[in-house]
Structure 1
Amino acid sequence: MAKEIERKFLVASDDWRQEVEDSSTIRQGYIASMSDRSVRVRILGQDRARLTIKIGRSLMSRDEFEYDIPVRDAEELLQAAFGTVIEKTRHCIRRDGYVWEVDVFSGAHQGLVVAEVEMQAEDEQPALPAWLGQEVTGDERYSNLVLATSGVEVA
């Protein structure tokens, strides 16, 4: 089991684009959810898929279990996902020992751009790039689960 500890921000400018090292497309959907856990399927590019189980109530730190699965299985699971299948392009930026992931949403959430940084401990204070806007860590409106299930009743 891994512990996911991350901070999330809105992005205020396009200055991050000059720092991108790699990018990938992502399609993801949720196949199960309760108030303190979720099961997500994600297809990365055309040839890789993962099943992820997240447990915990905190939006900053949760237990995370991830497993590679066949893309064909992931495609079928996305067909069974409730709510909206999220579509985004993830851009990775490495700076000061951290990896920043900038997600540019398309589809139903066209125009939304958020950045996340994963940390080893909740008390870490990574240097914040100038292109960041408001911090939205803990703001459920920006969680992928809420983005995917807005308007859908979740247990």
Structure 2
Amino acid sequence: MELPKYALFEHERRFLVDPARCPPLDGAAMVRIEDLYIVATRLRLRRVTGAGAAPVYKLCRKYLSDDPVSAPITNLYLTAEEFAQLDVLPGNRISKCRYRIDGFGLDVFEGRHAGLIIAEIEAPTQAAVLAQMMPGWAMREVTGDPAYSGAELARTA
């Protein structure tokens, strides 16, 4: 796939976590993520708060790809005022807390998806992310399963 102008490849894998075997989250670094998937687009508006840092606001576009592990992505970082202007657009919302454990981001979902935990790992290259082993506390890989994409989870939230 040709890389769209201003985009970078994101190389990531995702795993469904068994809540009974999830590593302890107490004391792990954590941020809260609130996403708005804007209707009829491939755009995601995101607010990240926590970890003692100022909030981060960004607008993301994830491009379609035949490869579930590697896909082009573009991010535009926003001011709080710009975020507020876009946050009124129609869309589907979802929120989660992301913990950092052993190089993985563990997304603990809130609301309708409470109890769902997805581990995500990224790497700078496709080969590096494919070399990552599924953690022992994961049940199965869901990288290519559209039911576990953020956009689909938000739509069904």
* TM-score relative to the length of structure 2: 0.79
Among candidates 25, 32, 54, match of residue 25 of structure 1: 32
Q: Is the 8 A contact 1:61 1:122 kept in 2?
A: yes
Cα distance in 1 between the residues matched to 2:81 and 2:113: 25
CA contact (8 A) 2:32 2:97 kept: yes
> Which residue is equivalent to 2:155?
149
Shift of 1:149: 2.0
- Relative to structure 1, the CA distance from residue 4 to residue 28 in structure 2 (aligned partners, 3 Å threshold; closer, same or farther) is same
Q: Distance in 1 between matches of 2:25 and 2:34?
A: 24
d(CA) in 1 for partners of 2:113 and 2:87?
A: 17
State whether residues 57 and 78 of structure 2, in contact with CA within 8 Å, keep that contact through their aligned partners in structure 1. Answer: yes
Match for residue 63 of structure 2? 55
Aligned twin of 1:81:
90
Give the number of equivalent residue pairs: 143
User: Cα offset for 1:14?
Assistant: 4.6
Shift in alpha-carbon separation, 1:86–1:50, aligned structure 2, 3 A:
same
Q: Does 1:131 align with 2:137?
A: yes
Task: Find the aligned partners of 2:88 and 2:115 in 1 and give their Cα distance.
Answer: 24
Matched, 1:119 2:127: no
Letter in 1 for 2:141: E
| Structure 1 contact 31–40 (Cα < 8 Å) conserved | yes
My pick for the range that moved more, 48-57 or 121-130, is 121-130
* Partner of residue 7 from structure 1, selected from 9, 13, 17: 13
> Given the superposition, is the C-alpha separation of residues 18 and 26 from structure 1 closer, same or farther in structure 2, using an over 3 Å criterion?
closer
Question: Quick one: which of 103, 106, 114 aligns to 2:107?
Answer: 103
Query: Displacement, 1:21?
Result: 4.0
Change (3 A) 1:107 1:75: farther
Partner of 1:64: 73
Name the SS of the counterpart of 1:146 in structure 2.
helix
- DSSP 3-state at the match of 1:115: strand
Is the deviation greater in 5-14 or in 137-146? 5-14
Secondary structure at the residue paired with 1:16? coil
- Secondary structure (helix, strand or coil) at the match of 1:74 reads helix
Higher strand residue share: 1
CA distance in 2: counterparts of 1:92 and 1:118, whole angstroms: 12
Give the direction of change, closer, same or farther, for the CA distance of 1:138–1:19 in structure 2 (3 Å limit): farther
